[in-house]
Structure 1
């Protein structure tokens, strides 16, 4: 029997949990000529949700992770490599001859994969324009291609004014739906909600929240197949606060312990201890890289559930620290501020 819980990669098929309303909303946007902006903390399942929604449409898509992009030339290369995965070389090679800056394309002896590179360009607008216009040429009104920009806020780190260049190119495209995913809410809000931003109100804005407790509870109980499943499911969700990634992670370990080690009593507590122990060195390394202000904020969140000002840490210092911790993914804000990783939170608590 395979473990019915999955984490760490794109979740599909029977591993996918709920999100019925969100799937329907994304489908509605993709059935229009509008674009979608989807914001949530890291590891809330944005990529899995979007992939499932796109798969349901049956349309061609490319996905670009901007965290892995280091320059505009690199972005243009990545776009072409993703296109090569969708279209045969013979179909598009003549279109590349029209590029104003011709890419260098190499392939394996079997021709099953391609590598693409550009020489550093003085006019990066040309690179982006040619690469994105190639997508437009391969799309039509019957089969509009979908382009996913994952961690879109990273775009702003590539080059000053890159947002203006990208906006000027894609605003005139008619046969493409763009999906912009982002995990840094403040930066994504700045890009899409600030009036002076080139991308102001550029698409339909969605915020992805936790999976509702009752839906996740039912999902876990059905898969545990244990007489104590209801109590176990409650303990799991009480620990993970319905965070999709950590709920799947903890549920997977609990299932293993029940199935292979025949744990019964306190299985959730034992699984939590195991995860904290497994990640002890990672947590210690992360902790040592924090300054004293960050450490004090994290301890406050773990102990009190909220940041608290004191004579040593004025309010302005605390909230600038929280903003920094949020940008780096260690703190999230939903109903309030909280440490993103419940097992890191437990690690901190154990050492107090």
Structure 2
């Protein structure tokens, strides 16, 4: 079975404490968050004017961080409560609702201390269990939605609870495309759609990283969410703004680095937020007094060596033609068409084989399609993998 590249765990090698300003896995506050002012303004405008939002981007480009940044801004308002729910690992409508209710209960309890008993009464029919959160040692309510019949009733109860609050509620459901992957076809979109305009104090952001699945859910006239949201496609950060941010963080810790070197790092990591942050995190952790090309090349070698076994394992899951096609796209940096005669000859591929390979690589998120210079082009999804492939 082919393994998807997104499961490669870069995080386990990260020095990730607040002395290192290049945070990779969690939102650490405005001081560690770069730009996105335009996107933040659009999200705030949508919230203030009761427009729902579909937010999508490729993986690890900063989408979840932007949502947490938005919530950090909204939480400063006394009359706003925020709920963040990641449904990536759910496998059914029941698990979806269990996660959403749990996230809502945690947010309400945090916002309105001491209401845990009243929350329990709302969900009495679902047999709530009072437990203690080991991280905070505070009481919390656990609710399990066990069957599909309870999905509708549990959502009724949840929206009744949120609708009764004297606050506006911003609800962000991350990786929403997951409902398209449930073994039993999901009815969550239809169930939620019925509430979007019935509870005036609630606002939804639906976000995700698989664009084709999300657009099927929100752009198909036959689907419940058709024309229900603003669409926002998150693009890479502005390279100059990102370079200034990186330069400031290094120089703020007395590590001398030139703009030319920073721009090279951004180019090598393809302005992909997570990979750029990861690279800078490792470079910062060396605590060099001065950083030049030599130090950057050392980190490149370290990164590629660290994940070489993962890349080799991934190679073993690909057919010969899939591998040749993927390697070719990496060597060319990007490809407008794998049917191009020059590309086919250079990488010894038949046109039919190249087309079949692209479909498999796309399905397994090893490549993606993006507009560049007013043309749609194919890129290798993971910048580190792409750089490793260049040397094969």
Q: Same fold (TM over 0.5)?
A: yes
TM-score by length of 1: 0.88
Q: Kindly tell me: are residues 288 and 103 of structure 1, through their superposed partners in 2, closer, same or farther at Cα, counting changes over 3 Å?
A: farther
Which of 134, 147, 150 pairs up with 2:174? Answer: 150
C-alpha distance in structure 1 between counterparts of 2:257 and 2:71, whole Å: 37
The reply on whether 1:218 has 2:218 as its aligned counterpart is no
CA offset digits 1:257-295 (Å, max 9, x no partner): 3x1586644211111110111112222222222333432
Q: Is the 8 Å Cα contact of residues 42 and 329 (structure 1) preserved in structure 2?
A: no
Deviation, structure 1 residue 89: 0.9
C-alpha distance in structure 2 between counterparts of 1:16 and 1:134, whole Å: 33
1:107-146 superposed matches below 5 A: 107-108=131-132, 111-122=138-149, 124-138=151-165, 140=166, 143-146=167-170
Which of 359, 364, 367 pairs up with 1:320? Answer: 359
C-alpha distance in structure 2 between counterparts of 1:122 and 1:50, whole Å: 31
Q: Is the 8 Å Cα contact of residues 167 and 198 (structure 1) preserved in structure 2?
A: yes
Q: More deviation in 212-221 or 307-316?
A: 307-316
The reply on whether 1:200 has 2:226 as its aligned counterpart is yes
What is the CA RMSD across the aligned residues, in angstroms?
2.4
Q: Is the 8 Å Cα contact of residues 30 and 177 (structure 1) preserved in structure 2?
A: yes
Deviation, structure 1 residue 14: 1.4
SS where residue 197 of structure 1 aligns?
A: coil
Unaligned runs of 5+ in 2: 1-17, 110-114
Q: 1:240 maps to which residue?
A: 269
CA offset digits 1:137-196 (Å, max 9, x no partner): 33x4xx211111101111223342512233224343322100011111111111111222
1:1-352 superposed matches below 5 A: 2-58=19-75, 59-86=80-107, 87=109, 88-97=115-124, 101-108=125-132, 111-122=138-149, 124-138=151-165, 140=166, 143-158=167-182, 159-162=184-187, 163-225=189-251, 226-257=255-286, 259-260=287-288, 264-304=292-332, 305-306=334-335, 307-309=337-339, 310=344, 312-314=350-352, 316-325=355-364, 328=365, 330-331=367-368, 333-335=370-372, 336-350=377-391, 352=392
Residue correspondences, number: 342
Q: Is the 8 Å Cα contact of residues 297 and 321 (structure 1) preserved in structure 2?
A: no
SS where residue 108 of structure 1 aligns?
A: strand
Q: Kindly tell me: are residues 198 and 293 of structure 1, through their superposed partners in 2, closer, same or farther at Cα, counting changes over 3 Å?
A: farther
Deviation, structure 1 residue 25: 0.9
Q: Kindly tell me: are residues 150 and 108 of structure 1, through their superposed partners in 2, closer, same or farther at Cα, counting changes over 3 Å?
A: same
TM-score by length of 2: 0.80
Deviation, structure 1 residue 211: 0.3
Q: Kindly tell me: are residues 169 and 236 of structure 1, through their superposed partners in 2, closer, same or farther at Cα, counting changes over 3 Å?
A: same
Q: Is the 8 Å Cα contact of residues 180 and 213 (structure 2) preserved in structure 1?
A: no
Q: Is the 8 Å Cα contact of residues 35 and 203 (structure 1) preserved in structure 2?
A: yes
SS where residue 68 of structure 1 aligns?
A: coil
Unaligned runs of 5+ in 1: none
Q: More deviation in 216-225 or 38-47?
A: 216-225
Q: Kindly tell me: are residues 287 and 90 of structure 1, through their superposed partners in 2, closer, same or farther at Cα, counting changes over 3 Å?
A: same
